[in-house]
């Protein structure tokens, strides 16, 4: 599969999509607290995106039923929003994708619900840092697996594990383009990174073992050992000036 390089004009368009996704996350951050349901958060985000003339990227994708993915505690990714109120001390991963003027932005963040214990705090900190260590490797001349390796190295040396079954991805006019970007692997493998590559990096970090299974709804992925899991994702561009995060304001 070909990696589609974007011109600087196309990257500017992708930044507009990314910024809208970032604003949707700001909205989520304002509302995550004990008592709200993930279904309510989903409606807030959907109304926001539609008001801004954006198209939610997930709804209808292979039949996915909602605008956001809402993954509570041991849910790794692809949790479906529901009517259960969030409880103090939980962690909530929210993944949002949107098309603006034909380009896709995709970003996920894991939020604490109220105050959380030290174990959860530390998982969130390690997951966030894993994303930024991966982004740091998205430089011209590096190879793709340098990103993967940096993520795995950081997560495992912190005493946590990385999920193998789901990967990051190229992104552009489609939500998923080549290449796939695993969050584990030896360095120095895969294609060399070039200016104009646009990538969604999305490490999923488990407090316990790495293995996951998918529930009978065919979406919800959970840790087999029921340990907490955190997911952080940004859409980025590889440029002459280094990695540029597109899903920020
Ligand atoms: N960030 C995820 C991904 O890139 C979200 C997809 S959820 C789906 O695959 F429902 F659209 F599949
Ligand atoms: Co993604």
Per-residue pLDDT at 167: 98
Residue 69: inside a domain: yes
Q: 27 and 48 in contact (C-beta within 8 Å)?
A: yes
Q: What range does the domain containing 105 cover?
A: 8-245
Decide whether any atom of ligand 1 lies within 6 Å of the 231 Cβ. Answer: no
pLDDT at 148 over 90: yes
Residue 2: inside a domain: no
Rounded to the nearest whole angstrom, what is the distance from the C-alpha of residue 83 to the centroid of ligand 2? Answer: 24
Peptide bond into 179 cis (omega under 30): yes
Residue 1: inside a domain: no
Residue 76: inside a domain: yes
pLDDT in tens, 17-31: 999 999 999 999 999
Per-residue pLDDT at 1: 80
Nearest ligand 1 atom to the CA of 169 is 4
pLDDT in tens, 99-135: 999 999 999 999 999 999 999 999 999 999 999 999 9
| Domains contained in the chain, number | 1
Residue 184: inside a domain: yes
Residue 3: inside a domain: no
**Residue from 233, 230, 222 nearest 92 by CA:** 230
**Residue from 130, 136, 135 nearest 152 by CA:** 130
pLDDT in tens, 173-225: 999 999 999 999 999 999 999 999 999 999 999 999 999 999 999 999 999 99
pLDDT in tens, 70-107: 999 999 999 999 999 999 999 999 999 999 999 999 99
**Residue from 207, 199, 206, 193 nearest 233 by CA:** 199
Per-residue pLDDT at 106: 99
- What are the E-state strand segments in 7-102? 55-56, 68-72, 75-77, 91-100
Residue 207: inside a domain: yes
Decide whether any atom of ligand 1 lies within 6 Å of the 64 Cβ. Answer: yes
Q: In this structure, what DSSP letter does residue 249 have?
A: -
Decide whether any atom of ligand 1 lies within 6 Å of the 42 Cβ. Answer: no
Tell the residue number behind the tokens 């959380």, with chain if given: 116
pLDDT at 153 over 90: yes
CATH number of the domain enclosing 166: 3.90.230.10
Best mutation site among 58, 61, 180 for ligand 1 pocket (most ligand atoms within 8 Å of CB): 58
Residue 94: inside a domain: yes
The terminus-to-terminus CA distance of the chain in angstroms comes to: 31
Tokens of 234: 């940004």
Q: 49 and 20 in contact (C-beta within 8 Å)?
A: yes
Rounded to the nearest whole angstrom, what is the distance from the C-alpha of residue 233 to the centroid of ligand 2? Answer: 7
Tokens of 242: 């280094």
Decide whether any atom of ligand 1 lies within 6 Å of the 95 Cβ. Answer: yes
């Amino acid at each position: 599969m070909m990696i589609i390089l974007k011109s600087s004009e196309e990257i500017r368009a992708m930044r507009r999509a990314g910024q809208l996704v970032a604003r949707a996350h700001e909205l989520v951050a304002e509302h995550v607290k004990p008592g709200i349901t993930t279904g309510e958060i989903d409606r807030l985000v959907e109304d926001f995106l539609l008001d801004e003339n954006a198209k939610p990227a997930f709804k209808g994708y292979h039949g996915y039923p909602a605008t956001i993915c809402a993954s509570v505690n041991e849910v790794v990714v692809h949790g479906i929003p529901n009517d259960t109120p969030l409880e103090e001390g939980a962690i909530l991963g929210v993944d949002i994708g949107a098309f603006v003027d034909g380009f896709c932005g995709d970003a996920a963040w894991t939020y604490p619900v109220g105050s959380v214990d030290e174990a959860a705090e530390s998982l969130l900190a390690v997951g966030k840092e894993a994303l930024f260590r991966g982004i740091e490797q998205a430089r011209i001349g590096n190879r793709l697996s340098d990103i993967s390796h940096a993520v795995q190295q950081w997560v495992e040396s912190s005493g946590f594990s990385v999920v193998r079954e789901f990967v990051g991805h190229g992104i552009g006019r489609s939500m998923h383009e080549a290449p796939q970007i695993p969050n584990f692997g030896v360095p120095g493998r895969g294609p060399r990174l070039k200016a104009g590559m646009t990538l969604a990096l999305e490490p999923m970090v488990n407090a316990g073992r790495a293995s996951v299974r998918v529930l009978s709804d065919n979406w919800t992925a959970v840790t087999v050992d029921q340990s907490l899991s955190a997911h952080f994702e940004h859409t980025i561009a590889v440029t002459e000036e280094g990695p540029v995060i597109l899903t920020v304001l």
